[in-house]
Amino acid sequence: MNDETTLSVTVTGRDRPGISARLLSTLSVFPVTIVDLEQVVLAGRLVLGTVLEVDERVAPGVSRRRVFEEVRHALDKTAIDLDMEVDYASGEHRVNDSSANDRLHVTVLADPLRPGALGAITSCVARAGANIDRIERLSSFPVTSVEMEISGAAGDPARLAQLRAELAMEAATQGVDVAVQPSGLHRRAKHLIVMDVDSTLIQGEVIELLAAHAGCEEEVTRVTEQAMRGELDFEESLRRRVALLKGLDADAIGKVCQEIQLTPGARTLIRTLKRLGYECGIVSGGFTQITDVLVERLGLDYSAANTLEVVDGKLTGGLVGPIIDRKGKAVTLERFAAEAGVPLEQTVAVGDGANDLDMLQTAGLGVAFNAKPVVRQQADTSVNVPYLDTIAFILGITREEIEAADLHAHAEPASIGHTSLH
């Protein structure tokens, strides 16, 4: 016992108000300092752990053994009064003080999250030579998500690459989503999130809705399929499809606005991020006539899209101005970041198609949302559940924080139509 330098104390029992205050007050009369401290509540059970060290500045020359014996005796009595259990461990405790440069956040999302899947993910961490310092539940709805804070992998590029590769493979095998991000103050700094529109912020494709009004759905679909087979680049594909809309009454755009459905969780995500200080923008290969409505209804900070040419109340089948294509989306992200005063490493991009890849790779964090396989493989992380607000969990935002934002806003409507959002 003479070489005992610290005392670890773990208190467990039914959670209720005042427990932590009572326990810490018991310690306050002793010449000890807190080296480490953590408290969690799980299923109504409190677990409070602390590591104590004798403060020789207050009591020089005092016997550590005697101080820790008196602490044990006092805590035992308090624990009995509170109907709690207390355990002790003595020795030399090393606090994990690894730098932020050697720490990572690994977020796991699934519906449902099974023990075997989480066990496989934690095994990947162990094989990479990293240590899990903390696991925290972020949400249980609409998906279960947990965040692990790990150390010992980020500082070694080879080990980090191994960890990312193994986690990606294991996530695919287990049917879960996994995001790996560096730790540090930048996680809580000002951020910018930029989202694709069609099949990301909203469900479906605007041009297909317009084509339905113009009676040319089959022709538009054929051109789209050619582009997907690589027979046409994005600009040529877009111009061919827009040409098919020639003569369509411009009033059809307003009707399409009524028909568009937001992706579940879209308003919740934007509302939460804006309340937490994020700047929010959209960039689309679609049309400003639609994105302008989204900006107004969702309170977005930035937007960019292509513009349909309208003359005498009808679509001409042409476009006005330069085309926003795959490269243009990345350039637009950079422009939004410069205007917002946000470094690129603090930007988040979300998209689903190959047209979004440059933007996803330019951003600090690129998220493939219900994306095609080629996009999932090249993005930093992917989300494969149909709820856009799950992206908040990847950013370390808890369900409780989302619900707090909801207290300041109305319930989420289903569409972006004028009637729904007034």
pLDDT tens per residue, range 291-338: 999 999 999 999 999 999 999 999 999 999 999 999 999 999 999 999
Q: Please tell me the predicted confidence (pLDDT) of residue 182.
A: 82
pLDDT attached to residue 97: 52
Is 380 a known active-site residue? no
Q: Which of 177, 198, 352, 389 is catalytic?
A: 198
Alpha carbon dihedral 349, 381, 373, 378, in 10-degree steps, equals 70
Of the pLDDT bands very low, low, confident and very high (cuts 50, 70, 90), residue 187 is low
Report pLDDT for 154.
74
CATH number for domain 6-91, candidates 3.30.420.40, 1.10.3720.10, 3.30.70.260, 1.10.10.10: 3.30.70.260
Whether the pLDDT of residue 359 is over 70: the answer is yes
What is the structure's pLDDT at 408?
63
Say how far residue 164 (Cα) sits from the centre of its chain: 17
Confidence (pLDDT) at 2: 42
The two structure tokens encoding residue 379: 């993005």
The CA distance from 20 to 46, in Å, is 9
Mean pLDDT of the chain: 88
Cα separation of 256 and 197, whole Å? 14
Residue 422 has pLDDT above 70, yes or no: no
User: Is 317 or 162 the better-scoring residue by pLDDT?
Assistant: 317
Confidence band for 272, pLDDT divided at 50, 70 and 90: very high
Is the pLDDT reported for residue 184 higher than 80? no
Per the omega criterion (within 30 degrees of 0), is the bond before 112 cis?
yes
Percent of the chain with pLDDT over 90: 62
Q: Which of 150-154, 164-168, 355-359 has the highest average model confidence (pLDDT)?
A: 355-359
pLDDT at 100 over 70: no
- Distance of alpha carbon 202 from alpha carbon 416, whole angstroms: 9
- Choose the weakest-confidence range: 3-7, 349-353, 386-390: 3-7
How confident is residue 263, by pLDDT bands cut at 50, 70 and 90?
very high
Q: 95 and 128 in contact (C-beta within 8 Å)?
A: no
Overall average pLDDT of the 359-375 stretch = 93
**CB contact at 8 A, 270 and 298:** yes
Hey, is 410 helix, strand or coil?
A: coil
Grade residue 188 by pLDDT with cuts at 50, 70 and 90: low
Active site residue 196: yes
Give the per-residue pLDDT at 208: 94
Between 161 and 27, the higher pLDDT residue: 27
Structure tokens at 57: 């500045």
Class level of CATH domain 100-184 = alpha beta
Residues of the chain with CATH 3.40.50.1000: 192-204+254-421
Between CA 241 and CA 218 the distance in angstroms is 11
Stronger pLDDT, 93 or 48, i.e. the higher one: 48
Boundaries of CATH 3.30.70.260 in the chain? Answer: 6-91, 100-184
In this structure, CATH architecture of domain 192-204+254-421: 3-Layer(aba) Sandwich (3.40)
Q: How confident is the model at residue 92 (pLDDT cuts 50, 70, 90)?
A: low
Q: Is the pLDDT of residue 366 over 90?
A: yes
Kindly name the residue from 196, 352, 356, 380 that is annotated as catalytic: 196
Give the mean pLDDT of 390-394.
94
Write out pLDDT tens, residues 209-260: 999 999 999 999 999 888 777 788 889 999 999 999 999 999 999 999 999 9
pLDDT of residue 247: 97
**Angstrom distance (rounded) from CA 287 to CA 403:** 33
113 pLDDT higher than 50: yes
Residue 418, classed as helix, strand or coil, is: helix
User: 413 pLDDT exceeds 70?
Assistant: no
Q: Which helix (H) or strand (E) holds 295?
A: helix 288-298
Q: CA-CA distance, 327 to 173, in Å (whole number)? A: 32
| Residue, of 146 and 152, whose pLDDT is higher | 146
